[in-house]
Amino acid sequence: MKFLYKTLLEATECLIKEKGSKFIGLTAPCLTENEIKETLKKWHSEHPQATHICYAYRIGVNEQFYRANDDGEPSNTAGAPILGQIQSFDLTNILIGVVRYYGGTKLGVGGLIQAYRTAAKEAIEMGEIIERELISEIHISFTYNEMPTIMTLLKQQKVNIKSQELNETCELIFQVENSKLEFLKNALESIKNITITLEIIGK
């Protein structure tokens, strides 16, 4: 099981100019598609006069969710070069955008590809690439009688409890590092009257 992935520590911004056009490279670490949507909405509100806001992202444990968007530029001249830089730096859980303000001179297909690639690359290089540990979010249901055993186990493993509902039937949602996952899952499965739902996410 994979334990680590590469991403950026925090959001970055850079500016390059090409034949009068301004290209603003933006990065934002994101864990979910909802975070990506919110960040894109923020970028559009901050740059209402932009000619284009092109972007690419990659999220997920095995980098399985990705998308590139040209936002009206010629096909594959903007989103694809941005995604190429995400892949080149082997990043995931990351959104990279390039805001373009048109300067009056057409750059051509080659010029556009180079400008978007450079803005994405410089935006990445402005930041700090770090390794983060993948975590799993676990949802368990169990009877109240099992609560002392389960709570003792979770305390020993120092999990991050996100929510809990302790009634006759108890519900817990918690997060744990993947390096601890196999042991914890096996320990939970040995307990009677418990249902486990597992989702691996990045943190």
What's the pLDDT band for 85 if we cut at 50, 70, 90? very high
Residues 6 or more apart whose CB falls under 8 angstroms from that of 58 comprise 65, 66, 83, 86, 87, 91, 92, 93, 94
- Whole-angstrom Cα distance, residue 116 to residue 77? 8
What CATH number does the domain containing 34 carry?
A: 3.30.230.30
Same domain, 122 and 141: no
Q: Which of these three, 111, 132, 153, is where a domain ends?
A: 132
DSSP 60-103: STTS-EEEEE-TTSSTTSSHHHHHHHHHHTT--SEEEEEEEE--
Structural domain containing residue 60:
4-132
* pLDDT score at 193: 80
Rg (CA), the chain: 22
45: exposed, middle or buried (C-beta count within 10 Å: 0-12, 13-18, 19+)? Answer: exposed
* pLDDT score at 1: 56
Same domain, 121 and 182: no
Same domain, 156 and 86: no
- Whole-angstrom Cα distance, residue 117 to residue 158? 42
pLDDT tens digit sequence for 154-173: 999 989 898 999 888 889 99
- Whole-angstrom Cα distance, residue 19 to residue 107? 8
pLDDT tens digit sequence for 41-81: 999 999 999 999 999 999 876 666 899 999 999 999 999 99
pLDDT tens digit sequence for 144-153: 888 899 999 9
Q: Which of these three, 132, 152, 168, is where a domain ends?
A: 132
Residue 10: alpha-carbon gap to chain centroid: 12
- Whole-angstrom Cα distance, residue 121 to residue 21? 17
Q: Which two tokens stand for residue 82?
A: 């941005």
* pLDDT score at 136: 80
* pLDDT score at 63: 61
pTM value is 0.77
Q: Which of these three, 97, 132, 167, is where a domain ends?
A: 132
- Whole-angstrom Cα distance, residue 189 to residue 39? 39
Please state the domain count of the chain. 2
Give, to the nearest 10 degrees, the angle between helix 108-126 and helix 79-88: 40
SS3 at position 23 = strand
